[in-house]
Amino acid sequence: MADNPSTMFAFAIGIAARNARGEPLDCYFPAPLKDLEPAVAELVRGHFPAGTSATDGAGAGRFAEALDGAAGDGVAALAAACRRLAAADRPLSVVRLDEDGPIASTEEAYLKLHLLSHRLALPNSLNLDGIFASLPNVAWTSRGPVDIAELPETLVAARLAGEHLEVTGVDKFPRMTNYVVPTGVRIADASRIRLGAYLGEGTTVMHEGFVNFNAGALGPNMIEGRISQGVVVEANSDLGGGSSTMGTLSGGGGIRITIGSHCLIGANAGTGIPLGDRCTIEAGLYITAGTPLEVVDEHGEVVRTVKARELAGASDLLFVRDGRTGRVQCRTNRRAIELNEALHAHN
């Protein structure tokens, strides 16, 4: 981005919830933009400074007028959003990012999470340095975000007003569907999808499925297990009930886990190594980088023993446990895994 000053990495205008001290708790951006066209970037520069700033409803309305006739993906949606925001009787939050640098504010953190869930950026493609320091820990309630220090008084005030205030969680990340609902997906339990998750067209996430921020399924997929931070599941792969993938924030360390296309991770199984295409891990078997594997040829003979990390990223592998010896084996996967089309219908 720095080599071409006419371009701009990302821009958004939205509404922030704030605590009694005026500090942002979250930020909702109805129509963020990424990789702005030079003409649109120039319009943004003419109205707003770099970084995080504020405007009012009148400012949003003037910017909507300036966007009339401008071309580019998402520009019409941004103009429409600004026209709705023009009725705001409160300050609006503006984020202009000329480059994809480290996160410097709560609003910047929310913009990048929105970019992921709006499918404007793939997992692991954004600079998320500083995100945890920029996101406050918040009580998520039926009224929206509440500062944890202000929660006791908020609960009392709600009771006095005859209202039952429900606290659904205490976390840095909210549920995605309160901000973004991607097209063509099914989500059985919205509390298990964090803002910043990427759900591709045709993805189904069942009740026990979980998708972290900066992780996702490219679609179509059936997700009944856990997609940890940094993990990407490619098209036409299934995660069975109770299965898991090792994230880069936990035991995965610096290893980035990817699941290729047409893979199956069985119920209560998991992986700590990347998988290529058409791989299967049988139910109940967890493969880590250090797992000893017997490599078995097509005649059923053990040809060598390796650590699982030596097969990382390879395709057409079947991981099973020998029922007689208990040893983990790797064989050639001769059966392509195809998703049940009826289960993935979203009409």
Burial of 213 (0-12, 13-18, 19+ CB in 10 A): buried
In this structure, are residues 12 and 31 in contact, taking their beta carbons and an 8 Å threshold?
Answer: yes
* Cα distances (Å, whole numbers) of residue 154 to 151, 160, 169, 260: 5, 10, 15, 47
CA distance 43 to 214: 30
Compute the distance between CA of residue 97 and CA of residue 12 in angstroms, rounded to an integer: 9
3-state secondary structure of 26: strand
φ, ψ dihedrals at 319, nearest 5°: -105, 120
Cβ–Cβ < 8 Å for 313, 324: no
Catalytic residue among 65, 224, 310, 338: 224
| Cα–Cα distance measured from residue 244 to residue 319, given in angstroms and rounded to the nearest whole number | 15
Which H or E run contains 331?
strand 328-332
CA pair distance 142, 292, nearest whole angstrom? 49
How far is CA 149 from each of CA 21, 90, 137, 207, 238, rounded to the nearest angstrom? 11, 23, 10, 32, 42
* 153 annotated active-site: no
Q: Which residues are catalytic?
A: 224
